Amino acid sequence: MRAEKKEEPSVARENELSASSSIEKSGLWTSFKDSFKPAIKTETLTHEIAVDEEELTDVQRAALKASNSQLSRSLKSRHLQMIAIGSSIGTGLFVGSGSALRTGGSAGLIIAWTLISTGVYATIQGLGELSVTLPVSGGFNLYATRFIEPAVGFAVGWNYFMQFFVLVPLELVAASLTIKYWNSTLNPDIFVAIFFVAVVFVTLLGVKGYGEAEFIFSMVKVIAIIGFIILGIVLICGGGPSHEFIGGKNWREPGPFANGFKGVCSVFVTAAFSFGGTEMVGLTAAETPNPRKTLPKAIKQVFWRICLFYLVSLTIVACLVSYDDDRLLGDSSVDATASPFVIAVVNGGIKGLPSVINVVILIAVISVGNSSVYATSRSLNSLAEQGMAPKWTGYIDRAGRPLVAIAITDTFALFAFIAASDKQEEAFNWLLALSGISSIATWISINVCHIRFRNALSYQGRSTDELPYVSQAGRWGSYYGLTLNVLVLVAQFWIALFPLGGKPSAYDFFLSYLGLPVILVSWLFYKVWKRQWRLYIPIEELDIDTGRVHIDADLIRQEKEEEREQLSKRAFYYRIYKFWC
C-alpha cells in the first residue's frame, strides 16, 4: 500500500502551535526549560503512521517518517537565499585557492574551477527538483535510500555526517589560528573556547537562529567579495598606489600553467572540495514553510555564486598573484597569510586592508563551523528516522531542534582544544581522510537519484508537468554532473597514487583516498546487517509519491501555466531575471 500525503506540510507548524499553547506563560525561564521537552506529535501524524506501518516497506516507512518530521519550519526565503549563496564560501575559496594557484597556475585555476562549477550547477539543479517535489528531512541521503538502495543511503548519510562532524573542530582550530595574523603569542585554545561558546549558542537557538546567523555571515562574505572584485579591477588597471598596469602580466610570466596537465588535474580535486556544502540547501527543505515558493529561488542563486563569487574573484586573483609567489607555500588549510586574496591586496600596496580580508576569512571560518553543526545534526536526525542510527539520536524537542544530534556534534567540537598540541595537524589530516571524498560521493548520489526519479516518472507514464519545479539542466544535466564527478574521483586516485612532485607512498595515498574504502565498508556493513543483497531498487518498485506535498498534477499545471502567462506580459529583461533568479 502506498502512503500519500495529499495536503500541504502543516505538521511541523501544528507542533509549534501545540507546543506554544501547552507552555504556560509563567516566564522566560519556564518556557526555555519546556522547549527541551519532546516535540508534541499531532494525532494526524501518529494515526497516519500507525495505520500504514504494517503494510509499508522499509523504504516507504523511512520516506513517510521523513516527510512527517517534527523539525521546525522557521527558515524564510531570505535565509535560504543567503544559505545558498554563502554556505560553502569559506577557507576553500579564501585560502585553499592559494595552493591551487601554486599547483595549477593561473590558467589551471580558472579551467578547473569553471569545469567543476558547471557540474555543481547541474547537480544542484537536480537536487532542487527533488527537494521541491519531496521536501523531507535528511534530503539527499533519504533520496539515495528510496531511489537507489538503502545501503547506498546508509553509506552516503554516515559519510556526509562524518565530513561535517570533523569539520566543526577543524574550523574552530582554523579560526583560532587565523588570530595569529595579528598576535602569535597567545595560546590558540583561548580563541577556540570563545568560538566554541559562540557556535554552541547559535546552535541552541534552533533553525531560525542558524538562519539569521548565516544571513549575517553570508552578507558579510558577499559584500567583501564584491568589494574585492571592484578593488581587483582597479589594481589590474593600474589604479593602485604604484599606478602599475598589471593586466595579464602574471599570465605571460611565469606563464599560465604551473605543472601541465597533472597540475590541472590536481586543481580539479581542490576545486571540487571548495564547493563542498553547496548541496546543504537541500537539507533545508523540511525546515521552510513553503518549499514550493522559497526553494527554487535559493537553488537558482547557485548560478550567481558560481559566476560572481568564484569565477570572477578567482580570475582577478590569477591576474594579481603569480603562481610562483613563495607566500603561497603556507599551510593551505589554516594559514590566512597563504590566502591569495590577502597576497593580492598586499601586492597592491594598500595598508590596513589585509587585516579586513583576514576578518572576513575569520567570519567565513566561523560560518562554516556553524553550518557544519547544522549539516551533521540534520544528517544524524535523518539517519535515526530511517532506522540507520540509534533511535534516541533522532530526539526532537518542542522548539523543533534535533537536540541530541546537536549535543553530540557540539561535544565532539571540544576536540578542537588540540589546537595547542604539536600533533594537531596530523590528527586532523587523518580525521579528514575518513570522509575525504564525501562531497563527491554525495553529488554522485544526487545525480543518480535525479536520473532514477525521472526514469520512474517516465515508466509510470507521467511527465514533468506535474512537478512544482523542474531542473533547468534536465536529466542530461544530471548525466553530465555524474560523469564529471566520476572523472574527479579518477583524477583524485591518480594524484593520490602518483603525487605531484613526489614519489608513490602508501601513507600519502590513504591520506588522500581513505574516504572511498570507508564508503565501501559502510555500504557492505549495511548489507550484512540487514541481509539485503540487491544492488538497486528495480524501476517498477520506485516510489515517487510517498512524502510528496504537491501531487495534484492538474493544479500544478494550472499554476505553472498562469505563471508563464503572467511572465510573457513582462519585459524581456525581467523574463531573463526570473529565469536565473
For residues 140 and 441, give the distance between their C-alpha atoms in angstroms, rounded to a whole number.
Answer: 11
CA distances from 463 to 6, 471, 547, 556 (A): 19, 13, 18, 12
pLDDT band per the 50, 70, 90 thresholds, residue 12:
very low
Q: Which residues pair with 397 in a beta bridge?
A: 38
Interval 333-373: pLDDT, tens:
555 667 888 888 888 888 878 788 888 888 888 888 888 88
- Residue that has been written with the C-alpha cell 543511503 in this structure: 153
Q: Pick the range with the lowest mean pLDDT from 117-126, 331-340, 390-399.
A: 331-340
Is residue 154 pLDDT above 90, yes or no?
yes
Question: In sequence order, which residues have a C-beta less than 8 Å from that of residue 454 and are 6 or more positions away?
Answer: 464, 475, 478
Q: Give SS3 for 350.
A: coil
Q: Which of 142, 135, 129, 137 is nearest to 467 (CA)?
A: 129
The whole-number average pLDDT for the span 230-251 is: 87
In contact, 410 and 125? CB cutoff 8 Å: no
In this predicted structure, what is the pLDDT of residue 526? 93
In this predicted structure, what is the pLDDT of residue 17? 45
For residues 479 and 412, the model is more confident at 479
Interval 35-71: pLDDT, tens:
667 766 654 443 344 444 556 666 767 667 666 666 7
Q: pLDDT exceeding 90 applies to what percent of the chain?
A: 15
Q: Which of 129, 9, 16 is nearest to 64 (CA)?
A: 9
Kindly calculate the radius of gyration of the chain based on its CA atoms and give it in whole angstroms. 24
Domain 60-550 adopts which CATH fold?
Answer: Amino acid/polyamine transporter I (1.20.1740)
In this predicted structure, what is the pLDDT of residue 257? 87
The whole-number average pLDDT for the span 87-111 is: 83
Is residue 529 pLDDT above 80, yes or no?
yes
The whole-number average pLDDT for the span 266-292 is: 78
The whole-number average pLDDT for the span 542-568 is: 74
- Residue that has been written with the C-alpha cell 535565509 in this structure: 79
In contact, 441 and 153? CB cutoff 8 Å: no
- Residue that has been written with the C-alpha cell 505563471 in this structure: 563
The whole-number average pLDDT for the span 426-449 is: 81
Looking at every residue in the chain, the average pLDDT score rounds to: 80
In this predicted structure, what is the pLDDT of residue 11? 45
For residues 545 and 4, give the distance between their C-alpha atoms in angstroms, rounded to a whole number.
Answer: 6
Q: Pick the range with the lowest mean pLDDT from 257-266, 286-295, 338-347, 537-546.
A: 286-295
For residues 266 and 349, give the distance between their C-alpha atoms in angstroms, rounded to a whole number.
Answer: 31
In contact, 403 and 36? CB cutoff 8 Å: yes
In contact, 324 and 244? CB cutoff 8 Å: no
Query: Which contacts of 244-252 are long-range, i.e. CB under 8 A and separated by 24 or more positions?
Result: 246/319, 246/320, 247/319, 248/319, 249/319, 250/106, 250/318, 250/319, 250/320, 250/321, 250/322, 250/323, 251/106, 251/107, 251/318, 251/319
Domain boundaries, the chain: 60-550
In this predicted structure, what is the pLDDT of residue 22? 46
CA distances from 325 to 220, 252, 322, 335 (A): 28, 15, 6, 15
Question: In sequence order, which residues have a C-beta less than 8 Å from that of residue 508 and are 6 or more positions away?
Answer: 496, 499, 502
Cell of 114: 569553471
Most confident option among 49-53, 72-76, 285-289, 503-507:
503-507
Is residue 494 pLDDT above 50, yes or no?
yes
Most confident option among 279-293, 331-345, 530-544:
530-544
Cell of 484: 564529471
Give 92's DSSP letter: H
Is residue 16 pLDDT above 50, yes or no?
no
In contact, 319 and 251? CB cutoff 8 Å: yes
Largest CA distance in the chain: 76
Neighbours of 12 (CB within 10 A): 24
Q: Which of 162, 503, 172, 177 is nearest to 331 (CA)?
A: 177
The whole-number average pLDDT for the span 540-569 is: 76
For residues 563 and 403, the model is more confident at 403
Interval 172-223: pLDDT, tens:
887 887 787 787 777 888 888 888 898 888 888 877 888 888 888 888 888 8
